[in-house]
Structure 1
Amino acid sequence: MAQSEILSRELDADGVLVLTLNDPDKRNALSETMLAALDAAFAEAASDASVRVIILSARGPAFCAGHDLKEMTAGRAAPDGGRALFTRIMNSCSGVMQAIVNCPQPVIAEVTGTATAAGCQLVASCDLAVAADTARFSTPGVHIGLFCSTPMVALSRNVGNKHAMEMLLTGDMVPADRAAEIGLVNRAVSPDDLRAATLAMARKIASKSSMTLATGKRAFYAQREMPLAEAYDYASRIMVENMLANDAREGIEAFIEKREPHWQDS
């Protein structure tokens, strides 16, 4: 399946880009082809000023089943037992997850069905997530002798330690309402309302200054890794630069004058 077919792209007039995983027969697994398509799509979106928010969706009963285990198992036939293939896939997957975090636009996962292993990692890597209340999540590697170490990175940065460890050590399925309780997703809604709820969130965010959103997203992830004092020093510098930006001046003036702001995205 060609990359153009495995991941569809649709941009609306509000600047909301919907990327749709489109390999339902393989449960939208993160094959090498899918990972390459995602990497290219996020790189393209990151440099496209017309894209203000990204929704990551999927076709079929599964959002994403994680890595393509048949593809990986076939790699064991290589002289190195698959080491080169496994290394390449893990590096590629890690690159995609970091591309989502580093993408200047907010990324919202729209989750139907199940999101397991690296598919759960994909949800956790997005800035926001809205799930159908029928969706389920798990990091089930322990069932097959494979601890979900890379999904652990995103999962442990989005939910509390004990919740993350419970998912990683038991491999149990977590229903959508529980995923919302522990912070893996923002909210769970009925399947019939999923697209409307996701679009409502996306369009609300898209109406803001893209400069402000990019500044805030970058600062959020940067400060999270810093000690408290360093984080405040960094955030203070960001606030000063932000205050000097055109959109901050416009936004404050619009607030004082009780009118809608007119963003320049600068």
Structure 2
Amino acid sequence: MDSHSTTTDELVLQEAHAGVVTLTLNRPLQFNALSEAMLDALQRALDDVATDNGVRCVVLAAAGKAFCAGHDLREMRGTPQLAYYQALFARCSVVMQAIQALPVPVIARVHGIATAAGCQLVASCDLAIASDAARFAVSGINVGLFCSTPAVALSRNVSAKRAFDMLVTGRFIDAATAADWGLINEAVPDAALDEAIARKVADILSKSPAAIRYGKAMFYRQRQMALSDAYAYAGDVMARNMMEEDAGEGIDAFLEKRPATWQR
């Protein structure tokens, strides 16, 4: 994949280089709040990535002082109708699930705050690296709204008691706590954030693309299964993975003590 930049209605900037796509939320003055238009733009960007076989990794970043402040509350108050709210949260849920449905890893690059649906966005990514100055909250409770949809992603990242504590108090946790609790992978000094992202991307790019595609799909599907079903499914996936050229090449390279050459 050649290096190039595109835009999706200017709300989500898209840059591609050497198999890595960076999607940048671009409503900086609104702390990248997820308006209807922003959700649509992000969905289109994810759909583009899903159909591009040259993509190996996605970085989800944000412009301005914050990663994402959640839903656009002003926009939400403009249409006080049950059907509208049901459609809005369903649309947001589709976007979150589209991240996990991508065949390649998605890394959240987090700075500033990630609150409510913004915290959900972090939890929905496969990996997350944050500035040590970043803060996280599911703070809807502070305005009378329990963060029910963010709770789905949050509770699949951190323990039930920690997730519920955040949901019923609305309190912020710092990046070090988020890393300790499992919401993010790593907290680094702000000046080192891009370097940490680059290291993680390089680690991913050094591995077999086929193996990662098999693995990501398997990882999320097996989590919903009973133990015996999960083992049966994982065994079948692993057997199919073994039939790929990359697996044969990787094992031969290991035995011959040489670097592997992966299929693209």
Kindly state the Cα deviation for residue 63 of structure 1 after the two structures are TM-superposed. 0.4
Counterpart for residue 255 of structure 2: 256
Counterpart for residue 146 of structure 2: 147
Tell me if structure 2 keeps the 8 A contact 1:64–1:119: yes
Counterpart for residue 41 of structure 1: 45
Which amino acid counterpart does residue 6 of structure 1 have in structure 2?
A: L
Q: Deviations over 1:89-140 (max 9, x none)?
A: 1111000000001000100000000000000000000000000000000001
Is 1:11 aligned to residue 16 of structure 2? yes
Which amino acid counterpart does residue 32 of structure 1 have in structure 2?
A: E
List 4+ stretches of structure 1 deviating above 2 A.
Answer: none
TM-score, normalized by length of structure 2?
0.96
Among 52, 58, 66, the residue aligned to 2:70:
66
Q: Deviations over 1:45-71 (max 9, x none)?
A: 011122100000001111000000101
| RMSD of aligned residue pairs (Cα, Å) | 1.0
- Cα separation, 2, equivalents of 1:260 and 1:91: 46
Tell me if structure 2 keeps the 8 A contact 1:52–1:210: yes
- What 5-or-longer segments of structure 2 have no aligned partner? 1-6
Is 1:172 aligned to residue 171 of structure 2? yes
Percent identity between matched residues is 52
Counterpart for residue 57 of structure 1: 61
Counterpart for residue 79 of structure 1: none
Counterpart for residue 99 of structure 1: 98
Which amino acid counterpart does residue 130 of structure 2 have in structure 1?
A: A
TM-score, normalized by length of structure 1?
0.95
- Cα separation, 1, equivalents of 2:17 and 2:8: 21
- Cα separation, 1, equivalents of 2:45 and 2:141: 31
- Cα separation, 2, equivalents of 1:48 and 1:74: 37
- Cα separation, 2, equivalents of 1:4 and 1:254: 46
Kindly state the Cα deviation for residue 211 of structure 1 after the two structures are TM-superposed. 1.3
- What 5-or-longer segments of structure 1 have no aligned partner? 77-81
Q: Deviations over 1:144-163 (max 9, x none)?
A: 11100000000000111111
